[in-house]
Structure 1
């Protein structure tokens, strides 16, 4: 798929300063929400009872992680990627497994290395995010490569995991495409064309998704609203 290229960006964006990750001095408490009795089978979506959709950080959920995912894969892919191409295909079995399982960085780190903070490396990539947009295509969209995004294709854009006090705090600048048959593609972008984005609106107009607004990192907020355009062709 040659589409999913960002075509426009407001002119007052400044790249954020690198995040400083420190080991927490207090024990982190996790609140477990009331979950469905049975995990839905992917690609059926997961909803926590009594929680409005806009507050859902988990799209898909499973109590178990794909057994083919190894500790070596975790160590290779646990950190968010830095890319220079627009777009860069970062699809890999580890990301796909985490998307389907709905595990956060804390859970997958504990699974593979026991103590989440044993090596002080973070943030850990995950698909549990707030402020992410979800667009469902209501019609097919043809790409320049001759492929077709079918009606029902879901496009998840960026979002934020946790808040600034958490070692896994991170604002993403990626696009995840979930096809009706369950296939997944993940595209990453340079910050210059698609900054770390959360709390935005996403509007499908023709073959483009217009993204307006972003909370973003504090040091990267300009005086104008951020506007990005994702070209699906």
Structure 2
């Protein structure tokens, strides 16, 4: 698979889980890949060694550091924003600082990094943000703040699709449902509850999500923009 040969790709939040699978997909496709990480240095260095990608330390909550990392990547063909935090709790008692940091990473980081990527992006480029099925549906208590951040990505993608459409740059959101990662393990305490409302009674895989990102970044998706692409095993059906 060499459909991304010669392409320049930046993945924000690429050291673990879905981000790791995305980095591997583009690297295996022949792209020149850079990815950022915040706290998982060992995992990032291991992935860089395995794939030949470049690992860059940058906290997605730090706007200046994040913009600097995007600028350093130079002109891009594909930009993927995968950084995200999950803060769950009763809105009346949840830690306000934790919610604010989640907003910084999930929303502000996504917006500022996507805009900076587009500033230097080749015409016909691709921007993909990793959202969540919770942007459409809140099935359980305690997800208000998280769902709010993922709904914000929907509005961002629709707007940026309009703003960058004249340059042929597409902007899309991929919305995973329960996916087997450190954040939401397939054998975790909530798994049976989630599976009970899914059409497919299992977690998805990070590779499933990466494959959808790869399609949206590839040559056959040039007419798809401002859209939400749910991959949730029927969680929201």
TM-score by length of 1: 0.28
Please say which structure displays the higher CA radius of gyration. 1
Question: When you count strand as a share of all residues, which structure comes out higher?
Answer: 1
Question: When you count helix as a share of all residues, which structure comes out higher?
Answer: 2
Whose relative contact order is higher, 1 or 2, with alpha carbons under 8 Å and at least 6 apart?
1
